[in-house]
Chains A and B, each alone.
Chain A
Amino acid sequence: MSERSTNTPRDPADVTALAIERRMTRRNFLVGAGAGLGAIALAGCAPTAASAPPATSAPSAAAPSGGASASASAAASANLGDALTLATWPNYHDPTVLQDFTTATGVAINMQVFGSTEEMEAKIRAGNSGIDVVVPSNYAIEGWVKDTLIEKLDYAKLPDFKKEDWNALFMDQAFDKGNAVSIPKNWGTTGIAYWSSKVNPGITSWKDFFAQAGTTYKGKALIVDHQISSFGSAAVAMGYSLNTIDPTEMAAVEKMLTGLKVNLFAISSDVQPPLRAKDTWLSIAWTGDGVQVVRDNPDDAKYVVASDGGELWIDSYTIAADAPHRDAAYAFLNWITQPAQAARETTFCLFPHANDKATALVDPAVKNNPVVYPPADSLTKLEYAVNATYNSPERAEAWARIKASA
């Protein structure tokens, strides 16, 4: 997942709660940190994003379910310590699920939220971060393994993990063969969000998106401030791979985007506010943005996975190599990846899950929502961003030149 915004009230239908949470997006975290005012400002505007789950949150009616609590209390018999630090995304975890883990094991979860994988990396790369469990996007993992920022998972310490329960589409991928270091949390797409009342006929491909963003919909289109998602989708529009690092192809993409920039509404990862205000009519968006805007405007808003390709991503649980609470980290992974917990998390955060048994338990309204779980045949052309793309200085420079251009 990239710097998408995720602001999800527990009840998918609770629109009023959303009005408050809407302002809290992943990008804001970066912005706040940059201003050095983050803590104060965000405490003011986003109570839901506060670190630890509220102590008052009642355990959900379904929990603790039999199987889950059995393994959790088995783990509790071992000496797990009393704390665990989880580096993750805003509004990605159901606080009641985390609370249940604490109740069962006595391990309190200290949650740190980040606006992007890059920010997580800056923290763990600096060392001594105190972070135990990190949830990066797929493209970062290879580099993290090479620099031993995360450790090889010891599956003996994950006794309840059952590989056969998981969707093969998301397991054993090139970025982590045999899931040696990572287990998927949720996955998603980078697609196109638009207002069908304004954008007619609808947009179904990146080719159309980039052709019309600067012409028919001049000043009304937004691309996200993320090299992989925006540069990559533009590359797909021109018939190249999402992952292109070919100099000629990159030069062509750069030229196209530099020309387009002046006609865009914005280059910003804060996708939802301008979309909801109808300042933007069409926008690059990540699954979470799409789901939430469509949920609140079912007749008008659309979120589509482009027909010509684009990005598919997975955020995965990993354990930091210098994790101070290793045993607690394994106990947490063993527990949170179980279908019962994974389903509750998915119903809460509205990103699809890679565990089929978990998906079966997800709230039907969420599970049958094609924006959350797109049809399998729409995913066939999508690509995972690879580490070489994430790590390419040439691509980063091309993106910086596009952003700096007048």
Chain B
Amino acid sequence: MATAGRARNGRSARRGTAVLLALPTALWYLLFLVAPLVVLVVMSVGERSPNGGYAPGFTFTQYAALPTRFTPLVNTLGLAALNTTICAIVAFPVAYTLALKVRGTWKLVLVALVVVPFWTSFLIRTYAWMTLLGGNGIPRILGWIGFGDIQLLNTPFAVSLGIVYNYLPLMVLPIYVSLERLDKSFMEASRDLGAGPIATLRQIVLPLAAPGILSGIVLVFIPVMGEYLIPILLGGGKTYFLGNALADLFLQSRNWPFGSALAAVFVAGMIVLVAGYLALSRRLVRAGREQSLI
């Protein structure tokens, strides 16, 4: 009796500690994630006050008006998919080299260099590209060697360049980590069994790096979907992303309910995406584990 009671007390005390320890995190999520989302959804069913801003209400007119933002949605999806793909294609060889080809101090230095750009603000790095791509930058050098009047700044190319440049480290690092953990004996076995380098890459390296590639894709795709700054600075306001549509709705149009509806749908879409990612990565990890058991 006595010992059982003590055990129960111990268990409930432990549970109490656990609750106490979880409290800050729970509060953090409640205050900074759940509460703003609730505000967002409540606002999205409201009406634009006659002079701008939000007026309480219960209507779905804002959601009905969402098709008017179809063009920025398509722009954003298309450019986010394209640039995430470019990032993955560029990042894979970099990560592969870092993880499997370089050793010792060099490896340390090179991995650190991937992160170095983050020491400077995103805004300043992007602003620097404005100077490089502007008329007195690369186009002038191209002019000297015989190319005519080429405009680089404020083109879709500049937007893509800015996105790939800024988000590449987020793709390199997860792929690097997954390749770093790769058991090299698999590759040796593959070679011993007569597979060429391409077959080894396709059948051994890529499947084992898949969770890393997938993480990289999610890490790049989601922030690019919300991108606002690069289209303004490097796209000259001519490439219009969802982020820009949202900023304009809240500031220039001062239509908070419509902006909230657009943001709510956007957040919901991203949640679906992340859920899909979690399901897929779980399957990949399980498949990987089974493979290594064999």
Asked whether, in the complex, the Cβ of B135 is within 8 Å of the Cβ of A277, the reply is yes
Query: Which of A122, A226, A261, A262 is the most central at the interface, judged by chain B CB atoms within 10 Å of its CB?
Result: A122
Asked whether, in the complex, the Cβ of A279 is within 8 Å of the Cβ of B51, the reply is no
Chain A residues contacting B233 (CB-CB under 8 Å) are 31
Chain B residues contacting A404 (CB-CB under 8 Å) are 69, 71-72, 75, 240, 245
Chain A residues contacting B134 (CB-CB under 8 Å) are 273-274, 277, 279
Asked whether, in the complex, the Cβ of B229 is within 8 Å of the Cβ of A34, the reply is yes
Chain A residues contacting B51 (CB-CB under 8 Å) are 143-144, 146-147, 387, 391
Instruction: State the Cβ distance, A308 to closest chain B Cβ, in Å.
Output: 25
Asked whether, in the complex, the Cβ of B228 is within 8 Å of the Cβ of A121, the reply is no
Asked whether, in the complex, the Cβ of A403 is within 8 Å of the Cβ of B248, the reply is yes
Asked whether, in the complex, the Cβ of B238 is within 8 Å of the Cβ of A34, the reply is no
- Of A35-43, A52-60, A158-166, A170-178, the segment with at least 4 beta carbons within 8 Å of chain B is A35-43
A118 CB contact (under 8 Å) in B49, B151, B229, B252: B252
Residue B160 interfacial (CB < 8 Å)? no
Chain A residues contacting B253 (CB-CB under 8 Å) are 393, 396-397, 400
- Of B92-100, B121-129, B270-278, B285-293, the segment with at least 4 beta carbons within 8 Å of chain A is B121-129
Instruction: State the Cβ distance, A132 to closest chain B Cβ, in Å.
Output: 21
User: What is the number of residues of chain A that contact chain B, defined by CB distance less than 8 Å?
Assistant: 51
A267 CB contact (under 8 Å) in B71, B121, B236, B247: B236
* A268 and chain B: residue at smallest CB distance: B237
Chain B residues contacting A37 (CB-CB under 8 Å) are 121-123
Counting from the closest, the 3 A-B pairs by CB-CB distance are A266-B236, A143-B51, A267-B237
Could you list 14 A-B pairs, sorted by A, with CB under 8 Å? A31-B123, A31-B229, A37-B122, A44-B121, A146-B50, A261-B238, A265-B154, A268-B237, A396-B253, A396-B254, A396-B255, A400-B68, A400-B248, A406-B75
Chain B positions near chain A (C-beta within 8 angstroms): 48-53, 68-69, 71-72, 75, 121-124, 127, 130-131, 134-136, 151, 153-154, 228-229, 232-233, 236-238, 240, 243-245, 247-255
Chain A positions near chain B (C-beta within 8 angstroms): 23, 28, 30-32, 34-35, 37-38, 40-41, 44-45, 116, 118-119, 121-122, 125, 143-144, 146-147, 219, 225-227, 261-262, 264-268, 273-274, 277-279, 387, 391, 393, 396-397, 399-401, 403-406
New contact pairs (6) apart from A30-B251, A118-B252, CB-CB < 8 Å: A31-B232, A37-B122, A41-B121, A267-B237, A274-B134, A400-B252
